[in-house]
């Protein structure tokens, strides 16, 4: 029997940040991952993730997002790796857009610099955009994107430097609850721990099947990369184009297209990365394949070209990314009922990576015996026990 005070299972965006946060505190910690992160078989890849502070999803995310910017800057200072690119983020939507309404509300409440822009002014500033006639915009100049592969590598670098042990290529089979402490079983080895943190993404339900109420459903989402037509390359560079999200009724009530501009030092395919934040295809995460269906690629090009007429050639590269969807699309961060020494952090539902530095610190607090931090209370498991109103 091997012993480690704290074990982190899954070392993607959130797990690597938790590992670094615990190691920084001088606590002995072991991180385990079934592959060798950063890799492209989970959720923390694709070369870029939008980061913004004027958050429409829930007002309690906003202080966390503001602190996350500071966390990324600290990580850059600690490692010399550039993770954060502030090219600004432009949101557009129609008169009834909840995205715009709630984002503006967050900006006003928390003093976030953000500019409301009417469509004509938007077209003048960014002539490559052709949004619907009734759309207006909200531009957050201090926002932008983070690079997931660099972020994971940087957090793992900090963790190693601070003494963390890391096992890769090792699959956790079970977490047994003993009389005194939990035991992690993997590849015939048994590790006792005073605390276990499960940040296993799409594989979380296999390790914690009792969390059925939170759903934690793995879904496959397509992302594509498009180059510009010849002679318009500068228009898709981060020096000219912000990251963007278009909240269009044509996409349906539960979805929106988003994009991240090309940039110097880009990881992965060249061009603008484009995705659809909306319902995905449920799957077994072990069966992930990276080639989206041809009809998905055709739809992406057809629909996105309506917003950027004549700018893009058809997608030249595509991948699939795993989302782990919670029941309400909010994160799940809490101690596991009946297992007080096991903490779960999962269900990030396609919008969690940007928070990695701040969530790493908060989850470390929780795992090391502190009460659930007040600013995480809205993400607890108890919300799934409450009766739902009709």
279 and 252 in a common domain: yes
pLDDT of residue 248: 87
For 264, the token pair is 């110097």
316 and 274 in a common domain: yes
pLDDT of residue 332: 98
Mean pLDDT of 320-348: 95
CB 365 within 8 A of CB 373: yes
% of the chain with per-residue pLDDT over 90: 81
138 and 161 in a common domain: no
pLDDT of residue 250: 65
Q: What is the pLDDT of residues 153-169, one digit of tens each?
A: 999 999 999 999 999 99
Smallest CA-to-CA distance from 42 within 71, 73, 9, 89 is with: 9
CATH code of the domain containing 194: 3.50.50.60
CB 37 within 8 A of CB 352: no
Bridge partners, 30 (sequence order): 7, 165
For 236, the token pair is 């898709």
Q: pLDDT band for 330, please (50, 70, 90 cuts).
A: very high
Look at 248 and 80; give whichever has higher pLDDT: 80
Per-state percent for the chain, helix, strand, coil, to nearest 5 = 35, 30, 40
Edge to edge, what strands does the sheet with 2-3 contain?
2-3, 189-192, 182-186, 172-177
CATH code of the domain containing 132: 3.30.9.10
Look at 373 and 165; give whichever has higher pLDDT: 165
Boundary residue ending a domain (279, 308, 325): 325
* End-to-end alpha carbon distance in the chain: 51
pLDDT of residue 388: 46
347 and 244 in a common domain: no
178 and 321 in a common domain: no
Q: What is the pLDDT of residues 39-48, one digit of tens each?
A: 999 999 999 9
> CA-to-CA distance for 48 and 6, rounded, in angstroms?
30
pLDDT of residue 162: 98
117 and 222 in a common domain: yes
Smallest CA-to-CA distance from 32 within 152, 151, 158, 168 is with: 168
Mean pLDDT of 344-352: 97
Task: Answer yes or no: pTM beyond 0.75.
Answer: yes
pLDDT of residue 280: 86
359 and 302 in a common domain: no
Q: What is the pLDDT of residues 118-137, one digit of tens each?
A: 999 999 999 999 999 999 99
Other CB atoms within 10 Å distance of the CB of residue 371 = 9
> CA-to-CA distance for 368 and 162, rounded, in angstroms?
17
Residue 387 predicted with pLDDT over 70? no
Query: Where does the chain have alpha helices with state H?
Result: 13-24, 61-79, 98-110, 119-125, 148-161, 204-207, 294-307, 356-367
Smallest CA-to-CA distance from 99 within 140, 64, 127, 66 is with: 140
pLDDT of residue 389: 39
**Whole-number mean pLDDT of the chain?**
93
Residue 2 predicted with pLDDT over 90? no
Domain housing 292? 87-144+217-325
CB 183 within 8 A of CB 193: yes
Instruction: Return the axis-axis angle of helices 148-161 and 356-367, rounded to nearest 10°.
Output: 40
Residue 113 predicted with pLDDT over 50? yes
Residue 187, Cβ density class (10 Å: 0-12 exposed, 13-18 middle, ≥19 buried): exposed
Residue 177 predicted with pLDDT over 80? yes
> CA-to-CA distance for 248 and 276, rounded, in angstroms?
12
CB 184 within 8 A of CB 6: no
> CA-to-CA distance for 86 and 71, rounded, in angstroms?
14
Q: Which of 201-210, 322-331, 368-377 has the lowest mean pLDDT?
A: 368-377
φ/ψ (deg, to 5) at 334: -175, 170
207 and 223 in a common domain: no
Q: What is the pLDDT of residues 283-309, one digit of tens each?
A: 999 998 878 778 878 888 888 889 999
CB 193 within 8 A of CB 61: no
Place of tokens 């395919």: 269
Residue 390 predicted with pLDDT over 60? no
> CA-to-CA distance for 220 and 289, rounded, in angstroms?
9
Q: How many domains does the chain have?
A: 2
Smallest CA-to-CA distance from 329 within 279, 388, 373 is with: 279
117 and 15 in a common domain: no
pLDDT of residue 89: 99
109 and 246 in a common domain: yes
Q: What is the pLDDT of residues 224-267, one digit of tens each?
A: 999 999 989 999 999 999 999 999 876 655 679 999 999 999 99
């Amino acid at each position: 029997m091997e012993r480690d005070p704290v074990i982190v299972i899954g070392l993607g965006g959130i797990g690597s940040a938790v590992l670094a946060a615990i190691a920084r505190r001088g606590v002995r910690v072991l991180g385990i991952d079934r592959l060798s992160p950063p890799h492209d078989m989970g959720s923390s890849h694709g070369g870029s993730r939008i980061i913004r502070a004027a958050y429409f999803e829930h007002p309690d995310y906003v202080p966390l997002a503001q602190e996350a910017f500071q966390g990324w800057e600290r990580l850059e200072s600690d490692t010399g790796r550039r993770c954060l690119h502030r090219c600004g983020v432009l949101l557009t939507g129609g008169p009834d857009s909840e995205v715009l309404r709630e984002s503006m509300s967050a900006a006003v409440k928390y003093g976030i610099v953000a500019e409301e822009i009417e469509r004509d002014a938007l077209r003048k500033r960014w002539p490559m955009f052709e949004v619907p006639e009734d759309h207006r915009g909200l531009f957050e100049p201090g926002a932008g994107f983070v690079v997931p592969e660099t972020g994971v590598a940087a957090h793992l670098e900090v963790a190693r430097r601070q003494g963390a042990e890391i096992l890769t290529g090792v699959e956790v089979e079970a977490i047994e609850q003993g009389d005194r402490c939990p035991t992690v079983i993997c590849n015939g080895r048994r590790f006792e721990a005073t605390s276990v943190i499960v940040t296993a993404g799409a594989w979380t339900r296999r390790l914690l099947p009792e969390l059925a109420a939170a759903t934690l459903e793995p879904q496959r989402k397509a992302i594509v990369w498009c180059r510009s037509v010849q002679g318009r390359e500068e228009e898709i560079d981060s020096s000219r184009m912000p990251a963007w999200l278009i909240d269009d009724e044509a996409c349906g009530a539960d979805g929106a297209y988003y994009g991240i501009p090309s940039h110097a030092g880009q990881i992965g395919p060249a061009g603008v990365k484009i995705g659809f934040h909306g319902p995905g295809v449920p799957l077994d995460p072990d069966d992930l394949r990276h080639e989206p269906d041809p009809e998905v690629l055709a739809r992406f090009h057809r629909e996105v070209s309506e917003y950027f007429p004549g700018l893009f050639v058809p997608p030249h590269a595509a991948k699939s990314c795993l989302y782990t969807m919670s029941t309400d699309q909010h994160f799940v961060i809490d101690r596991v009922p009946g297992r007080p020494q096991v903490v779960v952090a999962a269900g990030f539902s396609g919008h969690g990576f940007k928070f990695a530095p701040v969530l790493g610190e908060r989850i470390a607090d929780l795992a090391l015996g502190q009460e659930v931090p007040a600013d995480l209370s809205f993400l607890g498991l108890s919300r799934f026990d409450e009766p739902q109103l009709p």
